[in-house]
């Protein structure tokens, strides 16, 4: 029962590091040194973040990545959505009634409500709010 996967995790760490640097671009190499995350994996993650518009990228010598917006405008839910798909606990189960003779599945409703709560709590967590 995993709320965040490893790529989301690494993305959070990398973004925190980048946010702390305040300005200038940060290369994958620098991040690898600080975070001890496997380099090719981190590269892939940053490329994904780039495509998603979370970071801007700069090619060429001296290039790297930079947050595309303020750290407190980047929510954990944004990252979960990018790496794990839509934030919801339900995920296709319980689409039919629990027993065929029951019109609406009560369990689904209750799990949905719990999921809504989780989602709203998570969306309050931003990279900025993790920087202490």
Give yes or no for a contact between 126 and 75, defined as CB atoms under 8 angstroms apart.
yes
Q: Is 130 in the site for a copy of itself (CB under 8 A)?
A: yes
CA distance 123 to 132: 17
Binding mask 86-125 for a copy of itself (x = CB under 8 A): -xxxxx-xx---xxx-x---xx--xx-xxx-xx--xx--x
Output DSSP code: residue 127: T
Measured from the Cβ of residue 98, the count of other Cβ atoms closer than 10 Å reads 12
**Contacting positions for a copy of itself (CB under 8 A):** 1-6, 9, 12-13, 16-17, 20, 34-36, 76, 80, 84-85, 87-91, 93-94, 98-100, 102, 106-107, 110-111, 113-115, 117-118, 121-122, 125, 130, 132
């Amino acid at each position: 029962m995993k709320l965040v996967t490893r790529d989301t995790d690494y993305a959070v760490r990398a973004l925190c590091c980048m946010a702390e640097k305040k300005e200038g671009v940060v290369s994958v190499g620098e991040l690898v040194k600080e975070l001890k995350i496997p380099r090719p994996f981190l590269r892939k993650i940053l490329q994904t973040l780039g495509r998603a518009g979370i970071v801007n990228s700069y090619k060429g010598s001296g290039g790297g990545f930079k947050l595309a917006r303020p750290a407190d405008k980047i929510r954990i839910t944004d990252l979960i959505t990018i790496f794990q798909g839509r934030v919801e606990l339900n995920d296709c189960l319980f689409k039919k009634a629990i027993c065929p003779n029951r019109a609406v599945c009560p369990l689904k409703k209750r799990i949905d409500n719990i999921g809504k709560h989780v989602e709203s709590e998570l969306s309050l967590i931003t990279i900025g709010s993790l920087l202490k």
